[in-house]
Amino acid sequence: MVTIVEVAERAGVSKSTASRVLTTIQGRRSVRPETAAQVMKVASDMGYQANLMAVGLKTRQSRLCAALVEGLSDPIISRLVEALVLSCNRRGYHLLLEPYSRFADSSRDGSTIPVGVDGVFMVGERADWALLYELAEKRKVVLVGWPPVDAPVGQVSDDDHKGVSMALDHLTQLGHSQIGFIGAARPVSMQRRFSAYLNVLSRLGLVCREQHCRVEEAIPEPGDHESLFSLGFCAMEDLLVADDPPTAIMCANDLIACGAVQATIATGAQVPEDVSICGFGDTPPAHLCWPPLTTVQTPVHSMAESAAEMMVKLLRDGDASSEKTLLSPRLI
């Protein structure tokens, strides 16, 4: 472990000068070029790396952010987190992974997030408002993938309405007019997708038949693939045996869509010849369906990029105003 004083001694300068050279990003602040070069050389020769703890203690910022995530095994979440790590690193920040459910267990006071982390990303779509407000009091918070909320925190989300709209446009262009929906009443993202579905349908001049929609009341656990899959499977079985079944189905996410596809195939029908099925999220499961699923791609990379950018801006400017970014998805 080589310290800055050792570097300074070897370079024949004081630790102040060494510090000045080593911490200055670009704007030189009055240090002779030769001195700077010398310090730089010695530092890299000795393999000097600043001690995170000491810097953090002194400057009162750790360049550490926490990512509060619930259900990392959810494919879309894991892709989002993966992208977020990269985006943060690119800006000189490291990411601390904190599970969310733990807060529900404990006194949910957020105290398990160590003092010293600069900011917190809350990623997922399950909202714990109490925790959010508490966290926002002492730290910068950026919500990723959450539904819009009225709080002084940064927010990045994908545009569900636009995604649904794109999907339904696509389906009507294929000639469908009887378009059903399968989803759940919660979490909020699914709820929003359903209302977007209703909304877009009326815009397109189509009627929504109640018997073409299945919105389950049971709230699936995050990351619980099986129950989502079987939700789609059962709902689809149900829809297919009814009179006058829909010719196309919009699903609230890919897992549900996979279930729906399998159910359709199990009854002997063809996808997409007999029924068109559209998913949402462009998660890995979408690639595991055969035939491949049509799906709305959540823009994980640009979401992560925006979130990280928003965080550094929040941290730099201390701007507490609630900034919101909505990103458009793409149809695959």
Partner DNA sequence: TGTTGGGGTGGGAGCGTTCCTAACATCTCG
Partner DNA sequence: CGAGATGTTAGGAACGCTCCCACCCCAACA
Judge whether 308 and 87 are in contact, CB under 8 Å: yes
Residue 31 binds which one of a copy of itself, DNA, none, with CB within 5 to 8 A depending on kind?
A: DNA
Rounded distance between C-alpha atoms, residue 323 and residue 153, angstroms: 7
By CB under 8 A, tell whether 18 contacts a copy of itself: no
Residue 92 Cβ, how far from a copy of itself at the closest point, in Å? 10
Q: Which of 31, 46, 56, 327 binds a copy of itself (CB under 8 A)?
A: 56
Q: Which of 54, 104, 242, 266 binds DNA (CB under 7 A)?
A: 54
Q: What is the CA radius of gyration of the chain?
A: 25
The size of the interface with DNA (CB under 7 A), counted in residues, is 28
DSSP calls for 29-89: -S--HHHHHHHHHHHHHHT----HHHHHHHHS--SEEEEEES-TTSHHHHHHHHHHHHHHH
Rounded distance between C-alpha atoms, residue 88 and residue 94, angstroms: 6
By CB under 7 A, tell whether 35 contacts DNA: yes
Q: Which amino acid is at 78?
A: S
By CB under 7 A, tell whether 63 contacts DNA: no
Residue 192 CB neighbours (<10 A): 20
Q: Which of 181, 197, 233, 280 binds a copy of itself (CB under 8 A)?
A: 233
Q: Which amino acid is at 72?
A: L
Q: Which of 3, 302, 322, 325 binds DNA (CB under 7 A)?
A: 3
By CB under 8 A, tell whether 116 contacts a copy of itself: yes
Residue 287 binds which one of a copy of itself, DNA, none, with CB within 5 to 8 A depending on kind?
A: a copy of itself
By CB under 7 A, tell whether 14 contacts DNA: yes
Site for a copy of itself in 281-300 (CB under 8 A): 284-285, 287-290
Rounded distance between C-alpha atoms, residue 176 and residue 186, angstroms: 27
Residue 18 Cβ, how far from DNA at the closest point, in Å? 7
Q: Which of 10, 20, 176, 225 binds a copy of itself (CB under 8 A)?
A: 225
Q: End-to-end CA distance of the chain, in Å?
A: 51
Closest CB to a copy of itself among 213 and 256?
Answer: 256
Judge whether 248 and 168 are in contact, CB under 8 Å: no
By CB under 7 A, tell whether 55 contacts DNA: yes
Q: What angle do CA 18, 21, 23 make, to 5 degrees?
A: 100
Judge whether 332 and 289 are in contact, CB under 8 Å: no
H or E element at residue 250: strand 248-251
By CB under 7 A, tell whether 31 contacts DNA: yes
Binding residues for a copy of itself, rule: CB under 8 A, are 1, 49-54, 56-57, 62, 64, 67, 72-73, 75, 78-79, 81-82, 85-86, 89, 94-99, 102, 111-112, 114-116, 225-226, 229, 233, 255, 258-259, 262-263, 265-266, 284-285, 287-290
